[in-house]
A and B are shown apart, each in its own frame.
Chain A
């Protein structure tokens, strides 16, 4: 790393300003040794869903329920925690009352933030859910299910004590990538050895 830096510095010295002024500056005359950032010049991607020790994460969602990164499929609304998942007894967002949310309050270690993933985006529903959470005295973040899933994922990866209560969405917009992935999943269902 240090050697590379030295090499870069020496190259910069050779290309002194005097030389540059002598001929017109053009990008093509430079050989690019590194990208603009530090490192090997390669971009890395870290998929947090693949890392098992960061806790439970939601891989995908559908109108039926959710698929988690440990291979579980949960049908219907669920309550998910860093390492636990439970099914939740509400049918849709209108049925969320302070009673259904009291569970999050009595847990130890204390949950800092509860993410509520709702299926509808109407103001009425959001207001009633917010009031219910206020009665239950929870610190809550109310989002549509799609955004709630990804928010739960990266908050869990950070190591915060978050809980999430998700209701599967009523409609999803499918794209071809999604359809392909779900076809592959069902096609290989009977070949998967970890489910035996």
Chain B
């Protein structure tokens, strides 16, 4: 039995690559300030909190640093989330090269794309963030690759890397209006035929602009502007607990000017 375990550990070595040992095991305990490549191990005293596998977390971070070192021109930032997830932020010109590196390189092998989405932050100059969540079955790790674009700049499609990304990109195009270059079949997937607008943008209202109704007289579907059943409500905030009206102006009244 122990022999089998030893054999297994040599054959199925699926740890993600870290070419340089940036952070020794011993470093993590001793060095207080020093090594920037050493993540502080997260330990909680409480047993009810989620346990972090610090070794795995450090290894994933080192892999992120490896990717950044391999492609310094394109990779702009490496982030580790508190849930031990790696995020690689890339420039838009380098988005496709970084993705193909992650798909094809022997130390990365991310041959599955589990999701692709976009995020709209209208206040930014490049308002959309395009995010690909990819999974390596060989190493058992997940990575999120992010890039940014605005409404008019097309993004290179990742269809030649992962064919499953076809519908994901169609959905991003339909919901946000981000155009993908070299996509085999970019058209709407979730919205109605002839629908105008991109629903998941932040400036698109929740109820939309058009509503559909079956008209009995005309015996068909009729498209009309949306009719609100209630008017917009103004909320008055009241506290259920009594408070000293002499000493508090109330939540709805303006604050008194200090003399």
**How many angstroms between the C-alpha atoms of A195 and B220 in the bound complex?**
35
| A161 to B215 alpha-carbon distance, docked (Å) | 13
The CA of A114 and the CA of B194, in the complex, are separated in Å by: 8
Q: Which residues on the B side are within 8 Å of A115 (C-beta)?
A: 193
Q: Which of A114, A123, A143 contacts B187 (CB 8 A)?
A: A143
> For the complex, is B37 an interface residue (Cβ under 8 Å from A)?
no
Query: A123 to B179, Cβ gap below 8 A?
Result: yes
Complex CA distance for A143 and B185, rounded to whole angstroms = 9
User: How far is B119's CA from A66's CA once the two chains are assembled, in angstroms?
Assistant: 42
A-B contact count (CB 8 A): 27
Chain A CB count within 10 A is highest, among B154, B188, B220, for B220
Q: How far is the CA of A144 from the CA of B223 in the complex (A)?
A: 25
Q: Which 7 A-B pairs have the closest CB atoms?
A: A113-B194, A139-B194, A141-B193, A141-B194, A113-B193, A143-B187, A140-B194
Query: Counting CB contacts under 8 A, is A160 at the interface?
Result: yes
Closest to B154 in A: A123
Q: Is B221 an interface residue (CB 8 A)?
A: yes
Residues of A within 8 A of B185 (CB): 144, 147
Provide the A77-116 mask, 1 if CB < 8 A to any CB of B, else 0. 0000000000000000000000000000000000011110
Alpha-carbon distance between A161 and B219 when the two chains are bound, in angstroms: 11
- The verdict on A74 contacting chain B, using a C-beta distance below 8 Å, is no
Q: A140-B194, A155-B193 are in contact. Are A112 and B187 (CB under 8 A)?
A: no
| Selected contact of A112 from candidates B179, B188, B223, CB within 8 Å | B223
Contact with A along B170-212 (1 / 0, CB 8 A): 0000000001000001011000011010000000000000000
Given A159-B220, A160-B221, A161-B220, A147-B193 contact (CB < 8 Å): no
> How far apart are the CA atoms of A115 and B192 in the complex, in Å?
12
When C-beta atoms are compared, the residue in chain A nearest to B188 turns out to be: A141
Q: How far is the CA of A167 from the CA of B104 in the complex (A)?
A: 40
Quick one: closest A residue to B184, CB to CB? A121
Closest to A143 in B: B187
Instruction: State the CA gap A44–B69 with chains docked (Å).
Output: 58
Bound-complex Cα distance A114 to B179 (A): 23
CB-defined contacts of A123 to chain B, threshold 8 Å: 154, 179
